[in-house]
Chains A and B, each alone.
Chain A
Amino acid sequence: KAGVTQTPRYLIKTRGQQVTLSCSPISGHRSVSWYQQTPGQGLQFLFEYFSETQRNKGNFPGRFSGRQFSNSRSEMNVSTLELGDSALYLCASSLGQAVYTEAFFGQGTRLTVV
């Protein structure tokens, strides 16, 4: 079966702009989570959506937002980009919300802010 698809794979944006990243989960998966990975901070949780509702949120400023559509696809938006937002953004999908559920990660979107 198809895995988690993230688009685009690479992105270069200018400071102050906004960006939207997309994640298509595995078919049938209803939970989508987003993570930011940087060399300094490692993998940090951004937020999680289940059935179009945000269920969990990490410690990121309000410039970071997301949403989930009825087909479980998810988008993440970052407004007023800063140089420090340069990172690999990873999306993970799960069948449900049980704590024993396996998460499947996409390849990520590499965002560079210049």
Chain B
Amino acid sequence: DAKTTQPNSMESNEEEPVHLPCNHSTISGTDYIHWYRQLPSQGPEYVIHGLTSNVNNRMASLAIAEDRKSSTLILHRATLRDAAVYYCILRGSGGSNYKLTFGKGTLLTVNP
């Protein structure tokens, strides 16, 4: 399975931007970068995904390095509801790389 590395935890203040990093040095050319988050006592929730170009949606932005070996999930203005575990996942076609493989993720704490 393609591997990702994320910090165990990060802390932010409410209304400030948050940059959550993810390293994926063994990414292959066809792997998509997916981000999910899991709020307390809930199932994971899709946040965003991308392949090569930076992506924006109503929840967040995804900045992908030019060599694709790292990416950053950007929450533009953190709220208390954004406190969750954030998972960076590589998803490729074929074989075991297709499934969503969750690592430990980054526990984001948002301070009021």
Contacts and interface: CB of A to CB of B under 8 A. Distances in A.
Interface of A: 4, 33, 35, 42-45, 48, 56, 58, 90, 92, 97, 99-100, 102-108
Q: Which of A100, A103, A108 has the most CB of B within 10 A?
A: A103
Contacts, number: 52
Given A44-B102, A103-B100, 7 more contacts: A90-B43, A97-B98, A100-B49, A100-B51, A103-B36, A103-B44, A107-B42
B104 interface: yes
Interface size range on B against A: 20 to 34
Given A100-B32, A100-B51, A90 B44 contact: yes
A104 B46 contact: yes
Contacts of B101: 45
A33 B99 contact: yes
B43 A56 contact: no
B9 to A, nearest CB: 15
Contacts of A35: 102
B112 to A, nearest CB: 27
A104 B47 CA distance: 11
